């Protein structure tokens, strides 16, 4: 995390081809759901392949403050014991720093039939309503009130129900799944999200004794169980981290083998890269990406899984900024996803945005410039742009990037990138104190 008086930033000089091997860490989006899910267990849960990123550090701190015993076995394996957790109230100060902390609502409600959690923070993409989450909790028999920035959900007891989500929501799917796991009777959730980390959470809960079927399809069916036991479980690889490095390899006309991946999870990304002329070879647990020319233009529409992920949209836009011809991106998931465009323009990209549509006129080259990471994936896009650009770029606000990418600087240096992380005292802040 950033130091109190430090302005941490990355300095990159572009033009190097990325060549070599990169290993992908555990999936951020799975970790921030699986860790809160351990609250439902009455035993010790050992979680492997945990990414060492600030979002995970934060969720572990929140659980620790609430009474969970957290023990690090090594840097990617942790043991969690929530059997002595006494209170269903999550610390306001920590919770508001990350969006995924709302998964505490479902797991605390399941464990205590009560949950008090502040409204979440994380990346700012406009309004992130939790109305579908609350609709699901109500269907299971809970009441809620929102006051003073806190959500208070409580029930006499939770009972299975049929729930239809009005919009496909990853967050709501996960939260309802968590609460329904220990509700009485059968819960059927329709129009659910199908992302790999939803399947991962279902597999994790089932390994603790839950009875969940259908994760990865449109309908999830949950037979409530009385209690969940401890388990050992390894988190899936991070599809977005893998996709980011795939795009970085293509943007630098590199040749990179990306290890520890599930190629099936990358299909929508691979398909678009291939359409752009990138060569992608799939193996059992790795992909090789190489490129030796300018990418072809290509149109993209972000969609819930198995469509093209919104979390890869800024990265692919950066590659399209270097493509031969005009590409169109249609962002159908998040309202505010195009905030990074202004930053890319500083580097010479030619992009115009109208509502949810971006039109990208491909250029021969981008030029290094000072830019900032406006959110996690925008930050990844800035890195890709800096690696592909002529000259030197400085990226500020990297705290966003480190929420979701483990050791990104080291991983890139290992494949030939010219990138370093520097901390400089923030003089203005220091003087003001």
Active site residues: 123
Distance CA 373, CA 376 (A): 7
C-beta of residue 211 within 8 angstroms of C-beta of residue 178: no
Contacts of 331-337 spanning 24+ positions with Cβ under 8 A: 331/302, 331/356, 331/357, 331/358, 332/301, 332/302, 332/303, 332/356, 333/302, 333/303, 333/304, 334/125, 334/126, 334/310, 335/125, 335/126, 335/127, 336/124, 336/125, 336/126, 337/125, 337/302, 337/310, 337/313
Distance CA 166, CA 410 (A): 42
Distance CA 106, CA 364 (A): 49
The bridge status of strand 300-301 relative to strand 350-354 is: unpaired
Q: Which residues fall within 8 angstroms of residue 253, CB to CB, at 6 or more apart?
A: 17, 291, 292, 293
C-beta of residue 303 within 8 angstroms of C-beta of residue 333: yes
For the chain, report the end-to-end CA distance as a whole number of angstroms.
20
Length of the chain measured in residues:
433
**DSSP structure string for 71-101:** EEEETTEEEEE-TT----B--HHHHTT-GGG
- Taking CA atoms, 217 is separated from 60, 175, 195, 331, in Å, by 30, 17, 9, 23
**DSSP structure string for 99-110:** GGGGHHHHHHHH
Beta bridge partners of 289: 256, 280
C-beta of residue 99 within 8 angstroms of C-beta of residue 122: yes
Residue 256 DSSP SS3: strand
Distance CA 47, CA 256 (A): 29
Exposure string over 412-431, b if 16+ CB within 10 A, otherwise e: beebebebeeeeeebeeeee
Distance CA 32, CA 1 (A): 17
What is the number of alpha carbons within 13 Å of residue 273 lying toward its C-beta?
30
């Amino acid at each position: 995390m950033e130091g109190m008086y430090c302005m941490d930033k990355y300095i990159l000089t572009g033009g190097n081809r990325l060549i070599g091997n990169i290993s992908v860490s555990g999936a951020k989006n799975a970790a921030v759901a699986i860790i809160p899910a351990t609250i439902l267990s009455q035993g010790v849960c050992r979680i492997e392949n945990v990414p060492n990123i600030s979002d995970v550090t934060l969720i572990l701190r929140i659980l620790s403050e609430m009474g969970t015993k957290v023990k690090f076995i090594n840097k990617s394996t942790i043991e969690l014991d929530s059997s002595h957790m006494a209170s269903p109230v999550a610390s306001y100060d920590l919770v508001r720093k990350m969006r995924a902390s709302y998964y505490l609502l479902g797991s605390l409600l399941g464990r205590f039939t009560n949950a008090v959690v502040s409204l979440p923070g994380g990346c700012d993409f406009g309004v992130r309503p939790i109305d579908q989450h609350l609709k699901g909790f109500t269907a299971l028999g809970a009441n809620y009130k929102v006051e003073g920035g806190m959500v208070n959900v409580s029930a006499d007891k939770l009972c299975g129900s049929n729930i239809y989500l009005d919009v496909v929501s990853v967050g709501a799917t996960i939260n309802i799944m968590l609460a329904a796991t220990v509700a009485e009777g059968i819960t059927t959730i329709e129009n659910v999200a199908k992302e790999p980390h939803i399947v991962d959470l279902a597999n994790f809960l089932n390994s603790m004794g839950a009875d969940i079927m259908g994760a990865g399809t449109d309908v999830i069916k949950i037979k409530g169980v009385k209690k969940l036991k401890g388990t050992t479980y390894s988190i899936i690889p991070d599809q977005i981290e893998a996709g980011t490095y795939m795009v970085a390899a293509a943007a630098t006309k590199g040749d990179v083998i990306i290890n520890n991946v599930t190629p099936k999870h990358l299909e929508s990304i691979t398909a678009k890269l291939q359409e752009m002329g990138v060569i992608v070879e799939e193996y059992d647990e790795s992909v090789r990406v190489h490129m030796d020319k300018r990418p072809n233009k290509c149109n993209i529409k972000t969609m819930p899984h198995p469509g093209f992920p919104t979390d890869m949209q800024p990265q692919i836009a950066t590659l399209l900024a270097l493509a031969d011809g005009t590409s169109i991106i249609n962002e159908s998931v998040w309202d505010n996803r195009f905030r990074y465009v202004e930053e890319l323009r500083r580097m010479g990209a030619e992009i115009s945005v109208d509502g949810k549509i971006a039109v990208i006129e491909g250029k021969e080259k981008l030029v290094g410039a000072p830019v900032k990471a406006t959110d996690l994936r925008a930050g990844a896009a800035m890195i890709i742009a800096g690696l592909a650009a002529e000259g030197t770029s400085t990226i500020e606000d990297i705290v966003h990037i480190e929420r979701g990418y483990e050791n990104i600087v080291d991983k890139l240096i290992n494949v030939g990138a010219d990138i370093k992380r520097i901390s400089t005292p923030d003089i203005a802040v220091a003087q003001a104190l």
